[in-house]
Structures are given as structure tokens and as C-alpha cells.
Structure 1
């Protein structure tokens, strides 16, 4: 019997790549989108789901169970980027980012746990970010929301092991997707104390995404994780130096690591 997989944010980018890869491998895949009626090229069913709306989460999960009778894997992939000097990011945008990147995945997890507990098995994969392992300049809120999800996963793993449920994080680096066009950019304010530096940083960040790895690499990594009997707590997927930056943070003094980051971003 093929495993049943639910992927949030499955209409584009990494989520779509994962869904297509698993579909080709014979999995029963359901993706989600806030507006699935706008998507005409999906090879797997897309359900309506907004991670900021608990009613849509419940409805999507109920649909999967009604159609397939179970949910074996949930991939919390839906997320949004955000950039800007912290001082100039509107509070409502900060809250929206956490609603999507942090509280949203938690609501999905809470909604699916009863089904997995009844099955006595299940796997939840939270897509976080290598940026969640460090505070990056002009990406403070994104780093914070993804880092928070990493820590929640560590704690929740221990709470649900008794039910046969496994949870893991997969932290991607930069991948060539449309995330840059969809992220919230705090506007460049003429005359701002941050104007010149932030303007250059935006160009750098967008270039990193454009030059990023093939999303198929993430899809392959997720496929391998699903096959594992006992997945690790953390996985990192991306360019060597991006993954190595986490190792450096662990072993270097804080101020030395800070200087390396500032040099990297020409600050």
C-alpha cells in the first residue's frame, strides 16, 4: 500500500518539486494551496488550505482521510520570506510571518496528531531553513520564525514518540524557486539610515536565490528521509558552505562568527 502524503504549500517551489517526485515514486500525494483553482498543471490533487486558518486545515485533513483512509506523512512546507531592517518592518508583517512560518505548522501538527495517534504511526517533516540556525542581517524575522520551528520540533519529538509518531526538521539553503518574488520586502525608505546597505542586501539575497540549487535535491532528500525507520532530528540540504556555516557557528566564538557574517554581507 502506497504511503499517503500531505504537503502544505504544494503548488509551487520546493513543495511542488517534492510532490512531483513522490508522486513519480508511487506515493499518494495531496498538496495544498490557498487558491488551488488557479493551478492547472499539478500532477497531484491540490486542496484548499491556508495555514493561518484552522478551519481550512481541518477541512483539508478531513478530505485526505475521507479519500485515502489515513495520513502517513505530513510535510509542513508552506512558508513565506521576509526581509528588512527590523526597525522598519511593520509589526503586522512580523506577525503575519510568524502566523505562516511558525503558528501555521503548529496548527497543522495539532490537527493531524489524533489521526496519526489512532494509526499508531506517522511522520511529520517540518521544512525550516539554514537561516533558522543563525541571526542573519536584514532577515531577522525569517531566521527567528524558522529557528522557533526547529526548537518546537525538538521538544515535540519527545512528546509523541510514545504514540509511534516521528517528527524531523529539514533545513534547506538557497534553492532556485520563486520564493524571492513571494517574500515580503520592507520598502526601501529614501533618506533612511538603512537605505544604502539594505538596497545592496536585497540585490544580494535575490541573487543567492537565483543561483540556488535545484529543488529536486530537496525532493530527493525528503524521499530518503521517508524511507528511514528512525529519522534524525535535523537534516540540512544545500550548498556545502551554507551547511558548513552551521558547523562554524557551533565551534567559533560568537564575535568571530559575527565578523565572518558581516564580512560575507559586506557590512
Structure 2
């Protein structure tokens, strides 16, 4: 059986690295990407390519290299993403734009780059790593929620547009997992004079505490493998702690105002 070729954005650390290592152990040919190869001189878990999801030229170069090396590209895992927190009123617009560039525009660039090859093959799978946060507007994470929610909806549209090409596209929404995302997340400064100081400060601490006690990202990697082995991928997959997934069920069945009160109580706002 021919080994499948997988390309993972944001593959040098966190969830992306975990997915890459796990798939490599299962016999896949894995290429991961990173914005700066020089920061990973001893990386040998799998192939690592230079790629910035905000730069279409680097995307085209990396995709072409994979196809030249392997003759095909079977799976794209759109994993690269950035976190962002803060009161929307006080979050600098350039940071909002940057989050959307990475979390929404980046995956679109990647999809546009791989679809011609997958159409040519009449086969391919694209897994967009979104977030459980993308199913609800969370206080002080509204920009992050919106960017991940946008990718969820883009996936729904793309599935219908590409259904005749043998290409499958799906979303995988993780909850909180133990990665270094908190270290790389943009935090709007907590200003002493801010009208949001106390609630934002408390919410930020709660967010970071959740990440510190979160699950091992291997659970996401195992779900990716399950999706790859699924003959017909569903539109949405979720992986995370039971209460995080249960919150999505509550959002479906509760009146909006009641669900909002649950969130306010959860964040003690």
C-alpha cells in the first residue's frame, strides 16, 4: 500500500508537532512547516520546510517541493494559528488583522495552493484545525473565536464547491490542550486605567490556568489519524474535555440569553 504524504502547517511545536510525530510513527510521509527553519537546526522528527502562511510565495514553494519530492500530496492539515486575547475595544487593530491573516487567510492560501494537485489526483483530504472556541463568542477572546468560527464556515462552503473532485474537507475543533500557545498568544496589555482591567485580568488568569492543566495533544493527533482512515469525513469533529464538548450541546438547546448567562457565570463576569 502506498504511503500517504501529509503536509502540516505549524509543525515545529505544539499540536502540529504532535500530529507529525504520531503520523510518522504510523508510516506516513510527513512534512511540517515553520516560519523560521534556522530556529530548528536539530529538528529530525520529520521533514521540516520553511513556510509562512501569510506569504503565498513561501506556500507555493513548499507545496511544489513536496509534490516534486513525492509526486503527490494526500493530506493537508491546516494547523498553524495564533491566539489573541483582550477587550475588543482595546485590542490594536493591527493585532486583530494579524490574527485573521494567520487563522483565516493563511488556511485559505494553503487550500488554494493544494487544490490543483488534489484535483489532478482526484483524491485528497484537507483538515482545518479550528477550535471549540470558534462555536461561541467568548469574552476577551472574541477575535480568536471569530477567526476560528470563520474557518469553520469556510470549510462548510468549500466542501460543497469541491465535492466533484474527490477532495474531502473537514474541521477538527480542539478544546484546551497542553501546548506553548499561551507563550505565543498576543495579550492586549492590562492597563491600570482600563475600564476592563479587573474582569480581563481575572479571565486571562482563568484561560492560562485551563491551558496549564489541559490534555496531552496526542488526543488531537489520534483524531487526525481517525479522520484520515475514515472513508467519508464528517463536516465537523471535536476533541477535548467532556465539559468543553458538552458546552456545545448546551449552546444548541438553550435560549441564547440563558447560554450567555452560563458563560458569564463560568468566567465570573
| TM-score normalised by the chain length of structure 1 | 0.99
CA apart distance, 1:38: 1.2
CA apart distance, 1:37: 2.2
Cross-structure match for 1:202:
204
Cross-structure match for 1:113:
115
**Alpha-carbon distance in 1 for matches of 2:73, 2:137:** 35
Map residues 38-49 of structure 1 onto 2, 5 A cutoff.
38-39=39-40, 40-49=42-51
Q: Which runs of 5+ in 1 are unaligned?
A: none
Cross-structure match for 1:33:
34
CA apart distance, 1:76: 0.1
**Alpha-carbon distance in 2 for matches of 1:36, 1:28:** 19
**Alpha-carbon distance in 1 for matches of 2:46, 2:30:** 6
CA apart distance, 1:210: 0.7
**Alpha-carbon distance in 2 for matches of 1:139, 1:105:** 20
Map residues 168-247 of structure 1 onto 2, 5 A cutoff.
168-247=170-249
Structure 1 residues 110-169: Cα deviation after superposition (integer angstroms, max 9, x where no partner): 010000000000000000000000000000000000000000000100110100000000
Map residues 66-215 of structure 1 onto 2, 5 A cutoff.
66-215=68-217
Q: Which runs of 5+ in 2 are unaligned?
A: none
Contact 1:10–1:31, Cα closer than 8 Å, also in 2: yes
Structure 1 residues 202-234: Cα deviation after superposition (integer angstroms, max 9, x where no partner): 111011111111100000010010001101000
**Alpha-carbon distance in 1 for matches of 2:44, 2:147:** 29
**Alpha-carbon distance in 2 for matches of 1:246, 1:67:** 42
**Alpha-carbon distance in 1 for matches of 2:47, 2:66:** 10
Contact 1:11–1:42, Cα closer than 8 Å, also in 2: no
Cross-structure match for 2:265:
263
Contact 1:11–1:36, Cα closer than 8 Å, also in 2: no
Moved over 4 A (4+): none
Contact 1:14–1:215, Cα closer than 8 Å, also in 2: yes
Q: Which moved more, 1:197-206 or 1:146-155?
A: 197-206
Aligned residues: 267
